[in-house]
Structure 1
Amino acid sequence: MSLASISSRQQPAAQIELDETDHRIIALLRGDGRLPYRSIARELNLTEATVRARVRRLEESRTMRVVAVTDIEAAGYGMLLAIGVQVEDRSPEEVGRDMAAIPEVFSVNIVVGTQDLEILMVAEDQAALQGLLHEKLATMAGVRRLTPALAVNVLKNQPDWVPFHDPA
């Protein structure tokens, strides 16, 4: 698994046109976000200064950024859960913000459908899961119902992948 991720940001600071070289640099960084500019330059038959300037341009335009990604198993978490949350007497946003403050929760989304919120979280083991579900989440103000789903076999979890859209 890659230790870094290339992600696009929501609103680029300035629209830039990407050429084949930009796409190839991005592809190499997606494979290894810690790849030195010298290695990228060698691979693409460019100068190190050219690679450095292009990466800076991509980052400054908010077209891409390189970020660290943690492997949840390597971090000691053996359980991955998706939890649907029904809310009452508080807004989903308020409850979601409280849930987002829990370190084991790494994604909180306000959704439309049967649930008001969908969260993704990890737990170290069964005992930790019990505490998180019953002592932290279920007792939180505004939580009406939790519908947890434990991942028993993760077929794809690719945190280093982000859809990259070229507006050209």
Structure 2
Amino acid sequence: MELDDTDRRLIALLRADARRPASSLAAVLGVSRGTVQNRIARLLRGGVIQGFTLRLAPESQTAGASVRAITAIEIRGRSTDGVVRALKGFPEVRTLHMTNGRWDVVAELAAPSLETLDQALHRIRALEGVANTETSILLSTQKG
């Protein structure tokens, strides 16, 4: 799909605030509200915009979780899909990142206590296909 300057500016505005009203977008872009709505519809149909989402403040993502950790996971053989599928079902798993190098997956965990975190780590290590793990507890976040 060919994008012109107005499309690119519209996308930039939506990246900054996807809930910004069409009338406000139109005023900034110097086009009509209808033009903005038509362009958003076209960008959605064309797959350029694949959806709208929200960003949570880091502290709200871990509400009720006073212990956070990063766990690097080495996966044996071709078990990645099964391990990732299982990890997605763990309530303590906040994010999963596929990586290269020594570790195959890095999981960010959040738990209400060290005991709960320890239990989650035991369940992760027991998963079929998990060869090795290494966990670091997060002490603070410098940039969100």
Question: How big is the alpha-carbon RMSD for the aligned residues of Structure 1 and Structure 2?
Answer: 2.5
TM-score, normalised via structure 2 length: 0.78
Determine the structure 2 residue equivalent to 1:165. none
Equivalent residue runs for 1:1-168 within 5 Å = 16-64=1-49, 65-75=51-61, 76=63, 77-88=65-76, 91-134=79-122, 136-157=123-144
Contact 1:40 1:51 in 2 (8 A): yes
Contact 1:92 1:110 in 2 (8 A): no
Report the residue type matching 1:61 in the other structure. G
Q: Number of paired residues? A: 141
Distance 1:56 1:125 in 2: 46
Contact 2:74 2:130 in 1 (8 A): yes
Unaligned runs of 5+ in 2: none
Distance 1:128 1:108 in 2: 19
Distance 2:111 2:47 in 1: 33
The structure whose RCO (Cα within 8 Å, separation 6+) is larger is 1
Contact 2:92 2:117 in 1 (8 A): no
Contact 1:82 1:121 in 2 (8 A): yes
Distance 2:66 2:44 in 1: 34
TM-score, normalised via structure 1 length: 0.69
Report the residue type matching 1:104 in the other structure. E
Unaligned runs of 5+ in 1: 1-15, 158-168
Report the residue type matching 1:122 in the other structure. A
SS in 2 for 1:24: helix
